[in-house]
Chains A and B, each alone.
Chain A
Amino acid sequence: MLGYVLRRVASMVPILLGTTFLIFVAVYALPGDPIRTLAGPTRVISPSVQAALRERYHLDEPLWLQYWLYLSGALRGDLGIDLRGAEVSELVSRAWPYTLALGLTAWALTAIIGVTLGTLAGMRSGGPTDWFVLGTTTLIVGVPYFVIAYVAQIVVGVKLGWLPASGVRHGWPASYILPALCLAMFGVPELARLTRASILANRSADFVDTAIAKGLRPRVITIRHILRNSLIPTVSMLGLSLGYMLSGTVLIEGIFNIPGLGFVVFNGISQQNGPVVVGVSTLLVLVFLVINLLVDLVYGLLDPRISLARQR
Chain B
Amino acid sequence: MPDSDKSIVDAPGAARSASDQAGGRPAVGPLGADQAWVAEAVPGAVDLPTAVPRGALRGLLRRPRVLFPAGVVAMVLLIAAFPALFAGWFGHGDPRECNLRSSGQGPQPGHPFGFDIQGCDLYANVVYGTRSSVSIGLLVTGGCVIVAVVLGSLAAYYRGFVDTLVSRTMDIFFGFPALVGQVVILNTLQRRDPFVVSAVLIFFFWPGFTRLMRGSALSTVDLDYVKAASGVGASPLRVIVRHVLPNSIAPIMVLTSLSVGAMITAESALTFLGVGLRTPSISWGVQLNLAQDQFRTHLHLLLFPSLFLTITVLAFVLLGDALRDALDPRMR
Q: Which residues of A contact B (CB under 8 A)?
A: 12, 14-16, 18-19, 22-23, 26-27, 30-32, 138-139, 141-147, 150-151, 154, 158, 186-187, 189-190, 193-194, 197, 233, 236-237, 240-241, 243-244, 246-248, 250-251, 254, 265-266, 269-270, 272, 277, 281, 284-285, 288-289, 292, 296, 299-300, 306, 308, 310-312
Q: How far is A32 from B299 in the complex, measured between Cα atoms in Å?
A: 36
Known: A26-B181, A30-B185, A141-B37. Is A288-B175 also a contact (CB below 8 A)?
yes
Closest B residue to A280 by CB, please name it.
B180
Q: Given the complex of chains A and B, what is the CA–CA distance between A215 and B229 in angstroms?
A: 58
Interface membership of chain B positions 185-210, coded 1 if the CB is closer than 8 angstroms to chain A and 0 otherwise: 10111100000000000000000000
Q: A31-B190, A150-B306, A288-B176 are in contact. Are A144 and B22 (CB under 8 A)?
A: no
Determine whether B23 belongs to the interface, using a CB cutoff of 8 Å to chain A.
yes
B:145-196 near A, CB below 8 Å: 168-169, 171-172, 175-181, 183-185, 187-190
> Are A146 and B269 in contact, CB atoms less than 8 angstroms apart?
yes
Beta-carbon nearest neighbor of B262 in chain A: A141
10 A-B contacts (beta carbon < 8 Å): A18-B168, A143-B313, A146-B269, A154-B295, A154-B299, A154-B302, A240-B31, A254-B273, A288-B176, A300-B23
B8 contacts the other chain (Cβ, under 8 Å)?
A: no
Is B317 positioned at the interface, with any CB of A under 8 Å from its CB? yes
Separation of A135 and B122 alpha carbons in the complex (Å): 30
Residues of A within 8 A of B317 (CB): 138, 141-142
A19-B172 in contact (CB<8A): yes
Give the residue of A142, A143, A151, A244 whose beta carbon is less than 8 angstroms from that of B36. Answer: A244
A292 to B174, CA, bound (A): 10
Which one of A146, A194, A250, A289 lies within 8 Å of B180 (CB-CB)?
Answer: A250
> Which residues of B have CB within 8 Å of A141?
37, 40, 317
Bound-complex Cα distance A285 to B181 (A): 11
Main secondary structure of the interface of A (DSSP, over half): helix
Q: Is B318 an interface residue (CB 8 A)?
A: yes
> Number of residues in B with C-beta < 8 Å to the partner?
56
> Do B188 and A31 touch across chains, with their CB atoms under 8 A apart?
yes
When the two chains form the complex, which single residue of A12, A144, A237, A285 contacts B176, counting CB atoms closer than 8 Å? Answer: A285
Which residues of chain B come closer than 8 Å to A270, judged between CB atoms? Answer: 187, 274-275
Instruction: Report the minimum CB–CB distance from A14 to chain B (whole Å).
Output: 7
| Complex contacts, B39 vs chain A, CB 8 Å | 190
CB distance from A305 to the nearest CB of B (A): 9
A281 contact set on B, CB distance < 8 A: 177, 180-181, 184
- Top 7 A-B residue pairs of the complex, sorted by shortest distance between their CB atoms: A142-B314, A247-B33, A18-B172, A30-B188, A247-B177, A144-B265, A311-B22
| Interface contact B36-A15, CB-CB below 8 Å | no
Taking CB as reference atom, which chain B residue is nearest A293?
A: B30
Residues from chain A with a CB closer than 8 A to the CB of B5 are none
Residues of B within 8 A of A311 (CB): 22-23
> Across the interface, which residues of A come within 8 angstroms of B275, CB to CB?
269-270
Do the beta carbons of B181 and A22 come within 8 Å of each other? yes
> Closest CB-CB distance, B153 to chain A, in whole Å?
21
Q: Does B28 contact A (CB under 8 A)?
A: yes
For residues 110 through 168 of chain B, which have their beta carbon under 8 Å from a beta carbon of chain A? 168
C-alpha spacing A310/B34, complex, angstroms = 29
Given A281-B184, A292-B30, decide whether A233 and B177 contact each other with a Cβ distance below 8 A: no
Instruction: With A30-B189, A311-B23 as known contacts, state yes or no: A269 contacts B36, CB within 8 Å.
Output: no
Q: Does chain A have a CB within 8 A of B261?
A: yes
